[in-house]
Amino acid sequence: MDYRKVQLFLAAARHGNLTEAASSLEISQPALSKSIKALEKSLGVRLLERGRFGVSLTPYGQSLMQHGQVIEAEMRNAQGAIQALRGALRGHVVIGCGPTEANRLLPVALKELRQSSPEIKLTVLYGLNEALMPWVKQGEVDFALSSVPSRSADADLMHEHLLTETATVVARAGHPLLRHKLITPQLLMQYPWILPRQRELERLAFDDYFLSHGLEPPTAQVETTSTVLMKSLVMQSDVLTFIPKELIYWEARAGQLVSLQAVGNQWARRVGITRRRKGSMSPAGKLLLQSIKAAALTHF
């Protein structure tokens, strides 16, 4: 199988449009279409369905994309290793990162990496674990920096624990609850909430907190995957949220948001690195990992 043709196919699959994919690759659309058709002929299957508004993957195309992305990641790592052997550490690392880790841990690590290895190129894809884990498994990212389980449920992935953080009830500066010495579940029931969606770890912990006190969990006025929206709405009203404390580090320092120590809240979250069990790591990727681990140890 021609690896170059696979690369062109991957570009088309990601863009969902042959014209846009050809433009990103700096080749003509007919040349891209011809390459994909040749790949389909060599495999004996149709990889893409062509429609009025672009292209979509067939089941065969989905399978090739999953395997192709892993091959692409390994080729990227191989190029980095060769550059390192030549004495020029200019590798390209692609990682996935969760909201909390993007707030402070990753920026601290990148500052250190930039000082020691300024020519390393980094691409960061932002998302929640439901997106990050498939990206790692399929080779779309070299590794993910996010929540990690205490025990892996996927034989293809391995997790390394770096630190443990806590979640907290968050309110605006000057919120009426700040007048109370003890923040009880009953007091929290009196205010509206903006919360993560039902299946997120923080939301499950939020519901368990109230259930453990014999109370039905408050209904979320707004559910979202956007921590930016959560913090913005809380800053501008008496709405409360429940998120990892690290997510409001900068807003707390600026006096905009306050962490409320609710009675009986013991939620904790494991943060770490997720990698493909059988995947390799480029020298540039190893340096980034070292920087992240050093930042976690020193600053957290």
List the beta bridge partners of residue 95.
124, 143
Residue 88 has pLDDT above 50, yes or no: no
* Same domain as 212, residue 188: yes
Token pair 């402070």: residue? 104
> Are the CB atoms for 49 and 58 separated by under 8 Å?
yes
Lowest-pLDDT choice from 60-74, 91-105, 118-132, 196-210: 60-74
* Same domain as 295, residue 260: no
* Same domain as 282, residue 140: yes
For residue 241, what are the domain limits? 165-268
What's the token pair of residue 72? 């692409």
Total number of domains constituting the chain: 3
Residue 68 has pLDDT above 90, yes or no: no
* Same domain as 183, residue 150: no
pLDDT band for position 42 (cuts 50, 70, 90): confident
Q: pLDDT tens across 218-245, in order?
A: 999 999 989 999 999 999 999 999 999 9
Inter-CA distances, 190 with 181, 215, 217, 233, Å:
16, 12, 11, 17
Inter-CA distances, 157 with 54, 130, 145, 160, 290, Å:
33, 14, 13, 10, 19
In total, the chain counts a number of residues equal to 300
Domain membership of residue 257 (yes or no) is yes
Beta-strand runs (E) in the chain: 48-51, 54-57, 92-97, 121-126, 143-147, 157-172, 194-195, 222-223, 241-244, 257-260, 268-276
pLDDT band for position 145 (cuts 50, 70, 90): very high
The pTM of the whole model exceeds 0.85 = no
* Same domain as 130, residue 79: yes
What's the token pair of residue 257? 């948001």
For the domain that residue 25 is a member of, what is the CATH number?
1.10.10.10
Which amino acid is present at 208?
D
* Same domain as 277, residue 152: yes
Lowest-pLDDT choice from 3-12, 100-109, 167-176, 178-187: 3-12
Q: pLDDT tens across 151-169, in order?
A: 777 888 999 999 998 889 9
- Mean pLDDT for 255-263 is 93
pLDDT band for position 52 (cuts 50, 70, 90): confident
* Same domain as 115, residue 254: no
* Same domain as 249, residue 176: yes
Lowest-pLDDT choice from 37-41, 78-82, 261-265: 78-82
Of 160, 163, 238, 241, which is closest to residue 205 (Cα–Cα)?
241
Domain membership of residue 136 (yes or no) is yes
